Amino acid sequence: MNNTLIKGLRLLEVLVARAQPVGISELAQELEMGASNVHRLLQALVELGYAVNEGGRGGYRASLKVWELGAQALHKLDFRETAAPAMRMLLAETNETVHLSVLSGDEVIYIDKLDSPEPVRAYSVIGGRAPAYCVATGKALLAWREQPAVQLMTVRPLQVYTPTTLADTSALAMELDRVRQQGYAVNRGEWRASVWGIAAPVFDERQRVVAALGISGPAERIRARGVKRLAELVVQAARQASSRQLALAGEAR
């Protein structure tokens, strides 16, 4: 694998994650690379249009070209469009924030969402990431992975984010078995202590899980309405999205 390419992509990831321009010294320290090496990579990213030098401020930031690439990739994910009616239905039924997520390594990426109209609601952004084992959509995706999910999780130690985080692989394996049996996953404040979530898998025409559809909201509100009752609505929406995916695939043949 091309080492220079890997370093350049890692550098770009850091720039995208930062809200403010970052200097060469700080980047070199974070990436554990030499300052001269970082500078060369930055110059290449600037020349290609993926980074911008803030000039007198002495910092670099990611350019809108990165966003353009991401937007083009999202447009190609057909199941975003097929899941849209189910997402709207779920929002109308629950009044909670609705997420559509895909798996990327051991994280989920939120590829679409509909915000709750409630003044107090779960906060997230399209393109944002979260540890898969800590959120409902992530656990729904991990539960139906062809490769055993716990093997993926042993690449590095599981981080504890809240008192309810399942950071033990044995406990996580049991949880994923439960998810498969009941058909939906629940996040009981495992990523953000005050936020609960419920999610179910979305299948394609080959019965492969391509995404997870779910809701999230304040823990008190989710508990008050009842996890089981909300889960029925989430599963119904995920099945609707799966059925539409199957129907569109049939039309394309």
Q: Is 187 exposed, middle or buried (0-12, 13-18, 19+ CB in 10 A)?
A: buried
Domains of the chain: 3-68 (1.10.10.10), 77-252 (3.30.450.40)
Place of tokens 């409902």: 136
The tens digit of pLDDT for each residue in 153-185 reads 555 678 999 999 998 888 888 999 999 999 999
- Quote the pTM value: 0.70
104 or 134, which is more confident: 134
Distance, in Å, from the CA atom of 217 to the CA atom of 249, rounded to the nearest integer, reads 33
Closest residue by Cα to residue 58 from 84, 26, 101, 104: 26
Q: Is 14 exposed, middle or buried (0-12, 13-18, 19+ CB in 10 A)?
A: middle
| Cα separation values, 137 from 148, 191, 200, 253, Å | 17, 12, 7, 30
What does pLDDT average to over the chain?
85
Mean pLDDT, rounded, for 118-132: 87
